[in-house]
Amino acid sequence: MNQRIAFVASQTEEAQAARAALSVRYGDAPLAEADVIVALGGDGFMLRTLHRHMARALPVYGMKLGTIGFLMNQHHLDDLQQRLARAQSAVLRPLLMEVVTEAGSSMSALAFNEVSLLRQTKQAAHVRILLNDVAKIEELICDGILVATTAGSTAYNLSAHGPILPLDSQLLALTPISPFRPRRWRGAILPAITEVKFEILDPYKRPVSATADSHEVRDVVEVSVRESREQTMTLLFDPEHNLEERILNEQFEL
State the catalytic residues. 43
Distance of CA 142 to the CA centre of its chain: 22
Are the CB atoms for 141 and 125 separated by under 8 Å? yes
Closest of 25, 22, 14 to residue 38, by C-alpha:
22
**Strand 60-64 with 36-41, pairing:** parallel
Q: Is 112 exposed, middle or buried (0-12, 13-18, 19+ CB in 10 A)?
A: buried
* DSSP category for residue 157: H
Cis-peptide, bond into residue 182, ω within 30° of zero: yes
Residues in the chain: 254
